[in-house]
Chain A
Amino acid sequence: MNLVDIVFYFFAVIIVASAAVVVLSKNIMYSAFSLLFTFFGVAGIYVLLNADFIAVTQLMIYIGGILVLIIFGVMLTTKITGLEMKTGITGKAQYAIGGLSTLVLGGTLIYVFNSTSWFKSPSVPTTSTVEAIGASLLTNYLLPFEAASVLLLLAMIGAALIARRK
């Protein structure tokens, strides 16, 4: 067990534990805040993989954008309308079914991940990921990049439309 492994397991434990809280917590606010730690853990894994740009993007977009909006939504609806936002009471049957399917799915995934010989690209020592990402976005992935901008514009129009009163 070298240092990288230790760091990896540290982040992995954070991710899994906080993700479990997200799913299992009855209070939706706890779920939302635990998601914060999940995202942090994922960002940590990215750093470990030398993908610093992705890691920071993860922080900025997921933590700085999406999660804030989730928390906003929850806070505005619970405190201002006085509605308690709790997930429904889970019965024993649901626990059983949920647990069983989690086990089956988890087991399959673990089996698949361990038994598969994944594609390994030759490892290239990278100093700067940002330039490489920028270059690919404007050459090989130009079309997806531009398509994404249309997609985002559409989503913005749609969001404005839904938010509009009439």
Chain B
Amino acid sequence: MNPEQLKILGSSFLGDLLKSVNLFYPETALVVTFLLAILVDLFTRNRPSCKMSGYVSLIGFFVTAIFLCNSPQGMSFAGTYAVDAFSIFFKWIVLITSFVIIVFSFFSKELFGEERQMGEYYTLIVGMTFGMFLLSGATNLILIYLAIETMSMSSYILAGYTKEIKRASEASLKYVIYGATSSGIMIYGISLLFGLTGSLNLSGINAYLAGNNVNHITLLISGIMIIAGIGYKISAVPFHFWTPDVYEGAPVTITAYLSVASKAAGFAILIRLLNSAFTIHAAGDTINTAWSVMKNVDWTMIIAVLSVLSMTLGNFVAVWQTNVKRLLAYSSIAHAGYILMGVAVMNYTGVSAIMIYLAIYMFMNLGAFFVVMIIANHIDSEDLEDYQGIGYRSPWLGVAMTIFMVSLTGLPPTAGFIGKLYVFTAVLNSGMYWLAVIGVLNSVVSLYYYVKVFRNMFLRGAEKANQPIELSLTVKVILIALIIPNIALGIWFGGLVNWANASAAMILK
């Protein structure tokens, strides 16, 4: 390439670049926040447990939210990154979760108990948010890989942030080892897919697969390998082995973060991959357009099997758990299974159901983990046994936890019911009755262990009522703020459903 050619290449790219920068404001805001958080931390270093960079991160998230509200839509950066309604929905979930998690962290005794430098904690959360933003819009295999790595790298460190606690270090190490293996598998799958199609952009892969006859077995192997890498992030069985240990060992805030945000981002990319790369498209998708999934590999069956495995294993193993964080870990595996049902149906109704489910799941899971954290602050334990009498010692916590558990089970009138309702409807509409039946049976099983938490809090240990747990006003306000969406979305869900329906079909190719 001579200088002249380079110049032509550069100027042809410039227009695209200028357009891309306009689409990239939210992410740019996050990167700026990320850098500012480091700098602020440098200047407030000599005051340990200073929350300054935490506040900077919150402000940064707020600015990001403003940009996200006004974000235009389109493909950017030479077709490597899509800004569409679909990804913006997921970005909202990620952003709200990140915001809430940083607020949670301010109340964590676990994190602030020691004289710990907290600057990097917020920095890493912002970095992880950036990674998940990229992941929800990435349409290029390399970008997908890098986004997953950005997200994982931060979460490895965050999981072991309380490094003097042995189980946190153990969790972090396990997470790294499993994570490295799974991303190795994923990049291998990516290389096979690239070898088959000669393209890294999902649209290019799609075009090649639609126009050429490729070897089915190779495509199957590479697809399974890539799905394994994503499945690890959403903790679907059989890629879930890290989940219980990491969820138990990591600080509660991070557990909550991993269980909501990285799961949401993982689902975003899974759906995008299946839709953009492996489905044949005609112009103008609407919510009712049926996907014509390429027939060379039975993606539906693969996802459905993963879904059944995740639900069943998650729920049945959760029954035996005595540690609440571990219990919630298995519950989150089970929820990944429910959400995978929505992926398995492979149409936009399913995608919309997943989006509704994830938005609701965010509120209920964050709530449950917040209660776990507040209880751990006071009784220094996460054992189910030690939860006896909590309902009497602090009715606030007891009632809140009950609402979250009911919501997680999916009973009316809570929001969890709406989430399940839409997913099951989508499954039934597509005619996969067997899958729906397994899902319903699993929900019944899950009732048992969620009720176990309730039972320990209210039906046991009434004699401890004389050791009340006092909650500060801010904690109560946060609890109310988390309870409200759990109830409200169970009654007035029209707005959310409309938003999800409007966004679901808007996956840019």
A interface list, Cβ under 8 A from B: 108, 111-112, 115-121, 128, 131-132, 135, 138-144, 147-148, 150-151, 153-155, 157-158, 161-162, 164, 166
Contacts and interface: CB of A to CB of B under 8 A. Distances in A.
Nearest to A115: B215
Given A142-B17, A144-B142, A135 B197 contact: no
Given A143-B76, A143-B140, A147-B150, 17 more contacts: A108-B221, A112-B192, A112-B218, A115-B218, A119-B194, A119-B196, A140-B13, A141-B142, A144-B140, A147-B134, A147-B147, A148-B146, A150-B150, A151-B153, A154-B124, A158-B124, A162-B157
In this complex, the interface size class of chain B, counting residues with CB under 8 Å from chain A, is 35 or more
A143 B38 contact: no
B218 A139 contact: no
B136 to A, nearest CB: 13
Given A116-B196, A116-B218, A151-B149, A161 B80 contact: no
A48 B153 CA distance: 34
A162 to B, nearest CB: 7
B78 A158 contact: no
Contacts of A132: 1
B130 A139 contact: no
A86 to B, nearest CB: 19
Contacts of B130: 150
A158 B6 contact: no
Contact of B80 (A143, A148, A162): A143
B146 A112 contact: no
Given A112-B217, A116-B218, A151 B146 contact: yes
Given A154-B154, A157-B123, A131 B80 contact: no
Contacts, number: 108
Nearest to B221: A112
Nearest to B222: A112
Contacts of A166: 115-117
Contacts of A141: 78, 80, 142
Leading 8 A-B pairs by shortest Cβ distance: A119-B198, A158-B157, A143-B77, A116-B215, A139-B13, A116-B218, A140-B78, A154-B127
Nearest to A130: B1
Contacts of B238: none
Nearest to A120: B198
Contacts of A158: 120, 124, 153-154, 156-157
A162 B120 CA distance: 11
A128 B424 CA distance: 57
B361 interface: no
Contacts of B488: none
Nearest to B77: A143
B160 A162 contact: yes
Q: Which of A116, A132, A135, A147 has the most C-beta atoms of chain B within 10 angstroms of its own C-beta? A: A147
Q: Which of B17, B20, B120 has the most C-beta atoms of chain A within 10 angstroms of its own C-beta? A: B120
Contacts of A117: 214-215
Contacts of B156: 158
B127 A150 contact: yes
A166 B163 CA distance: 9
A26 B198 CA distance: 40
A142 B29 CA distance: 18
B31 interface: yes
Interface string B128-151: 001100100000101100110110
B208 A144 contact: no
A115 B214 CA distance: 11
Contact of A162 (B1, B20, B76, B163): B163
B34 interface: yes
A158 to B, nearest CB: 4
B468 interface: no
B36 to A, nearest CB: 13
Nearest to A159: B157
A148 B154 CA distance: 13
Nearest to A127: B1
Given A144-B80, A154-B154, A135 B1 contact: yes
Contacts of B208: 119
Given A117-B215, A157-B120, A157-B124, A135 B149 contact: no
A125 to B, nearest CB: 13
Contacts of B412: none
28 contacts: A116-B214, A117-B214, A118-B195, A119-B198, A119-B208, A131-B1, A132-B1, A139-B13, A139-B78, A141-B80, A142-B17, A143-B20, A143-B77, A143-B143, A144-B142, A147-B143, A147-B147, A150-B31, A150-B34, A150-B127, A157-B120, A157-B123, A157-B127, A157-B157, A158-B156, A162-B160, A166-B115, A166-B116
Nearest to A108: B221
B196 A118 contact: yes
Contacts of B218: 112, 115-116
Contacts of B9: 135, 139
Contacts of A120: 198
Nearest to B147: A147
Contacts of B221: 108, 112
B78 A142 contact: yes
B10 interface: yes
A157 B150 contact: no
B363 interface: no
A111 B221 CA distance: 12
A131 B9 CA distance: 12
A137 to B, nearest CB: 11
Contacts of B78: 139-142
B369 interface: no
A119 B217 contact: no
Interface string B3-17: 000100110010001
Interface in B150-178: 150, 153-154, 156-157, 160-161, 163
A118 B130 CA distance: 35
Contact of A135 (B6, B120, B196, B215): B6
Nearest to B17: A142
